[in-house]
């Protein structure tokens, strides 16, 4: 979509071969390839989403300055994925259930051989390596989706503060109440008319709904030399999220998630903790 000369200039400026960002992107690609194998083995549907899909369509791979990778699944596939994914020597599943101070309502697959300093990240996380985000989509009434998003947002703001036992105690109780109320109220919320698909409760109102006719049946898109599942109508999906996605943003005002990253020394037996 972007002429090759401009693509080369963007790569040279933001993520040239050998740069820290490019190393992070290639490690995320390794995680994605592993997740793809797991999903194919267990017939789990997923697709590239958000900025990752935008990068595939507009750049043929990562957006040159992008430092994260997103995929989405429907609830039934997401629940099966969480059950069948097994941690190994290289990758670990991170959710609010297996990481005490991890608040988010979606999963991350973390690399065990890196250590990142992420903006807004908490040093008490069990896993802190390079990751890809695995988002869950389900039908939900918008008012509940927004309300839960605001609730979790306040907990996240509190988490970013440096605090002692009192703050950690409030976070622990707040997290228990948040997810406990979802378990109790979700059957009732399902009885309400809701035809739109949103991310899981807690992701917040900034995430727009998805139209299933733009996603299913899944198609395919090239990303970094490989083919991965993608919405059947990538154009409609991306226009809903980004508007005119073919236009580059202001390159001087880009938002970065990761501020630093340490890779394991291949000659050392010590891994980042």
* Domain map (residue ranges) of the chain: 4-138+208-263
In the chain, % helix, strand, coil (3-state, to 5) comes to: 40, 20, 40
The residue count for the chain: 273
Four-residue CA torsion sign, 202, 197, 68, 37: positive
Cβ–Cβ < 8 Å for 137, 74:
yes
pLDDT values of the chain reduced to their tens digit, one per residue, 273 residues:
688 899 999 999 999 999 999 999 999 999 999 999 999 999 999 999 999 999 999 999 999 999 999 999 999 999 999 999 999 999 999 999 999 889 999 999 999 999 998 765 567 789 999 999 999 998 887 778 788 988 998 888 888 776 678 888 888 899 999 999 998 988 887 777 666 788 888 886 556 778 899 999 999 999 999 999 999 999 999 999 999 999 999 988 887 676 678 887 644 444 454
Sequence-distant (≥ 6) Cβ neighbours of residue 46 within 8 angstroms: 35, 39, 71, 72, 73, 77, 81, 134, 229
φ, ψ of residue 216 in degrees (nearest 5): -100, 145
- Give the whole-angstrom CA distance, residue 14 versus residue 108: 25
- Give the whole-angstrom CA distance, residue 222 versus residue 228: 6
* Number of other residues whose CB lies within 10 A of the CB of residue 146: 16
Q: What is the pTM of this model?
A: 0.90
CA distances from 189 to 23, 34, 143, 192 (A): 43, 35, 10, 5
- Give the whole-angstrom CA distance, residue 228 versus residue 221: 6
Q: Which among 169, 160, 151, 166 is positioned nearest to 205, based on CA atoms?
A: 151
HSE of 193, CA atoms in CB hemisphere, 13 A: 0
User: Prior bond to 75 cis, omega within 30?
Assistant: no
């Amino acid at each position: 979509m972007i002429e090759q000369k401009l693509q080369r200039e963007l790569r040279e400026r933001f993520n040239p071969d050998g740069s820290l960002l490019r190393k992070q992107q290639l490690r995320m690609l390794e995680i994605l390839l592993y997740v793809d194998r797991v999903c194919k083995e267990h017939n789990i549907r997923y697709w590239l989403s958000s900025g990752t899909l935008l990068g595939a369509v507009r750049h043929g791979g990562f957006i040159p300055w992008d430092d994260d990778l997103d995929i989405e699944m429907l609830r039934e596939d997401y629940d099966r994925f969480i059950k069948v994914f097994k941690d190994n020597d290289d990758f670990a599943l991170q959710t609010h259930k297996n990481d005490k101070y991890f608040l988010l309502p979606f999963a991350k697959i973390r690399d065990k051989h890196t250590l990142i300093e992420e903006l807004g990240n908490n040093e008490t996380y069990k896993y802190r390596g390079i990751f890809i985000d695995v988002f869950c989509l389900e039908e939900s009434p918008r008012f509940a989706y927004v309300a839960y998003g605001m609730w979790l947002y306040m907990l996240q703001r509190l988490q970013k503060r440096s605090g002692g036992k009192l703050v950690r105690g409030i976070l622990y109780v707040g997290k228990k109440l948040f997810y406990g109320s979802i378990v109790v109220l979700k059957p009732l919320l399902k009885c309400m008319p809701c035809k739109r698909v949103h991310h899981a409760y807690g992701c917040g109102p900034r995430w727009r709904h998805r139209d299933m006719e733009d996603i299913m049946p899944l198609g395919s898109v090239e990303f970094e030399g490989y083919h991965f599942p993608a919405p059947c109508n990538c154009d409609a999906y991306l226009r809903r999220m980004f508007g005119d996605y073919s236009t580059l943003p202001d390159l001087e005002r880009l938002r970065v998630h990761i501020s630093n990253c340490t890779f394991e020394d291949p000659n050392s037996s010590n891994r980042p903790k």
